[in-house]
Copies of this chain bind each other. A is one copy, B any other.
Amino acid sequence: MRSHFSTPWKVVIDIERTSRRTLMTYHRQDSANLLVFIALLTLTILTIWLFKHRRFRFLHETGLAMIYGLLVGVVLRYGIHVPRDINNMTLSCLVNASPATLLVNVSGKFYEYTLKGEISANEISEVQDNEMLRKVTFDPEVFFNILLPPIIFHAGYSLKRRHFFRNLGSILAYAFMGTVISCFVIGMIMYGCVMLMKEVGQLAGEFFFTDCLFFGAIVSATDPVTVLAIFNELQVDADLYALLFGESVLNDAVAIVLSSSIVAYQPAGDNSHTFEATAMLKSFGVFLGVFSGSFALGVATGIVTALISSDFTKLRDFPLLETALFFLMSWSTFLLAEACGFTGVVAVLFCGITQAHYTYNNLSPESQDRTKQLFELLNFLAENFIFSYMGLTLFSFQYHVFNPMFIIGAFLAVFLGRAANIYPLSLLLNFGRRNKIGSNFQHVMMFSGLRGAMTFALSIRDTATYARQMMFSTTLLIVFFTVWVCGGGTTQMLSCMRIRVGVDSDQDNSVSRGQHPSSKHLYSRWTFDSNPFSYLKPILTHSGPPLTATLPACCGPLARCLTSPQAYEGQLRDDDSDLILNDGDISLTYGDVTVSADASGARASRGLGPLCGVTSDEALDRELAFGEQELVIRGTRLVLPMDDSEGPLAPALPPPPSGLDLRRHRE
């Protein structure tokens, strides 16, 4: 039977007898377990509401979710004890593969089993004695395939694009070089720590240098969601916000690809943990290949979506179809990347950025709202779910390895790694920047290196070996500490560092730092669309200058053919619509174009026909309202020489009081 066939996928095993009831029971238990998490989330939401209502800022919702998760974990671990009814039977059947499907024949009835994954040997030897704990444990791949994609997409989709692209150079430096530096610094320190532990005899298993580097990669992914939420609330300087947010979004992508390249490092020969140049180069190749492949895929899907929803198709007459298409295309980016062997999460991130930059401008105002709100909701649910699961895992995970030396070493390494990332790079960047990154900014960035969902997901993905288990336990503690302590101390930190708060990012950014009030437009060299890319925007959207204005004269006919009429109109009133985007909503441009183009009454001209239903009435109202608003704002516009479209989700900047004032003005 030990023959060699290519890829066998079915094994039939005869087992005696069973009843259909078992299946039903499992389904019920699954529902009950999921219900535990939903109850947790509901509780979190209600408490968050209470906190927001009372304006408590010391604990963010994610920190709260972790606390609730911890409590439930304690209850499950020590409160409920389901008696164990386990029967391990070793059935020796020789097959040369683990097939995807097992068929088990129980006296005539066939049961299908699907491969869930490989599990570590000690998970079997120490048989879990608490059924309930096993039940509330999710497949780690759930995080990568279900929970992380909406979070990462949301991050990309909500990049405040003007400030992001202004600081693009610095952000890329922090995200790429910084993460690599951090990874290697942490890896090196941890290797020293591990060597020391081996000396003292504290190490109960193998721990290689690649493991240390892997640890460095996973804890280099920062997630300052708590900090940014408070920044938003307090309206902290927009450039600081952009630097932190941009770095944290991109370094997630770097960390995930970096960690997978470290796993891919496999020197030839028996001892697979020595240094070898070819394997190293191969790992570097994997890094470059996976990263660029994921990047290209994400951007490509974004551009395809932008083309589909562009002006040539009148898809925006049907917001539901448009939103559904947007959702499906963004999701398919993830699947396509995974199917091609790239990293779905990274592809989704760049897809989100592209969608925000190009597709968002093509969507109808209603779809803009819908997509914003949809991904905001998904992000909110996924994030809180992950953080409450994190809390739960501290008690429900069965193979924790808490080693005091390793933990202290890790905390130290994380601190030093962050410092080695921020301070030297800032120094370097300040040579090139007119607008220096002040030392108070650097301290805040250092302080805001929280670890969150991505670090957790990467560390729980593989907990098969001793080294990985120790990493996982330590990572959990690092996340708890940073979220509670650093997250909770943000307001204190801001006041201590004398960071200005209450800054209206759009009108005031030039003077926000108080150093270079006139250096604002010097940033424009970082603008994404100021270079070859600027030709893309008028083709893919109908904002921006028409191609006829930007292409050389010889390309005239081609340019005219590719530019939509709106782009011309846009140019005609370009100076008008530049900073009408006060409240971070590009739809104002539409309101402007449409309403102003035909002010005599036929305002439903954008095809808000009877098919749109109830909503078109609202859209019309909003459009009219915006039209009016625009008339007033026009009096106070500022003209900047760069791309002014704000990020679609422009993380909840408090609305300028304009709505009210304008109204009053009119009255």
Identify the A interface with B (CB < 8 A): 1-2, 5-20, 22-23, 26-29, 31-32, 34-35, 38-39, 41-42, 45-46, 48-49, 52-53, 85-106, 108-121, 123-124, 127, 141, 232-233, 308, 313-315, 317-318, 320-321, 323-325, 327-329, 331-332, 335-336, 338-339, 341, 344, 369-370, 373-374, 376-377, 380-381, 583-585, 601, 603-604, 609-618, 620-622, 624-626, 629, 650-656, 658-660, 663-664
Give chain B residues whose Cβ lies under 8 Å from the Cβ of A318.
49, 52
A41 and B328 contact, CB distance less than 8 A: yes
Kindly state the separation between the CA atoms of A395 and B97 in the bound complex, as whole angstroms.
Answer: 31
Determine which of B18, B335, B620, B658 lies in contact with A660 in the assembled complex, contact meaning CB atoms within 8 Å. B620
List 20 A-B pairs, Cβ < 8 Å: A9-B87, A10-B127, A13-B91, A14-B93, A31-B338, A35-B336, A38-B328, A41-B328, A88-B103, A98-B104, A112-B117, A113-B115, A232-B613, A327-B381, A370-B373, A374-B374, A611-B654, A613-B653, A617-B658, A621-B629
A94 and B31 contact, CB distance less than 8 A: no
Give chain B residues whose Cβ lies under 8 Å from the Cβ of A14.
90-94
Give chain B residues whose Cβ lies under 8 Å from the Cβ of A32.
335, 339
A625 and B614 contact, CB distance less than 8 A: no
Determine which of B53, B141, B617 lies in contact with A583 in the assembled complex, contact meaning CB atoms within 8 Å. B617
> Distance (Å) between the CB of A55 and the closest chain B CB?
9
Give chain B residues whose Cβ lies under 8 Å from the Cβ of A96.
15-18
> Distance (Å) between the CB of A125 and the closest chain B CB?
10
Q: Given contacts A45-B321, A617-B656, could you give 11 more A-B pairs where the C-beta distance is less than 8 Å?
A: A5-B87, A14-B91, A15-B95, A26-B115, A31-B338, A49-B318, A89-B93, A89-B95, A611-B652, A612-B652, A613-B653
Give chain B residues whose Cβ lies under 8 Å from the Cβ of A336.
31, 35
A320 and B377 contact, CB distance less than 8 A: yes
Determine which of B13, B29, B53, B613 lies in contact with A90 in the assembled complex, contact meaning CB atoms within 8 Å. B13
Query: With A12-B91, A38-B332 known to touch, is A377 a contact of B370 (CB < 8 Å)?
Result: yes
Give chain B residues whose Cβ lies under 8 Å from the Cβ of A45.
321, 324-325, 328
A621 and B625 contact, CB distance less than 8 A: yes
A35 and B325 contact, CB distance less than 8 A: no
Give chain B residues whose Cβ lies under 8 Å from the Cβ of A369.
369, 373, 615, 618
Determine which of B53, B106, B332 lies in contact with A39 in the assembled complex, contact meaning CB atoms within 8 Å. B332
Cβ-closest 8 pairs across A and B: A613-B652, A617-B655, A91-B93, A610-B654, A8-B87, A113-B113, A31-B338, A18-B98
Kindly state the separation between the CA atoms of A38 and B94 in the bound complex, as whole angstroms.
Answer: 39
B100 and A110 contact, CB distance less than 8 A: no
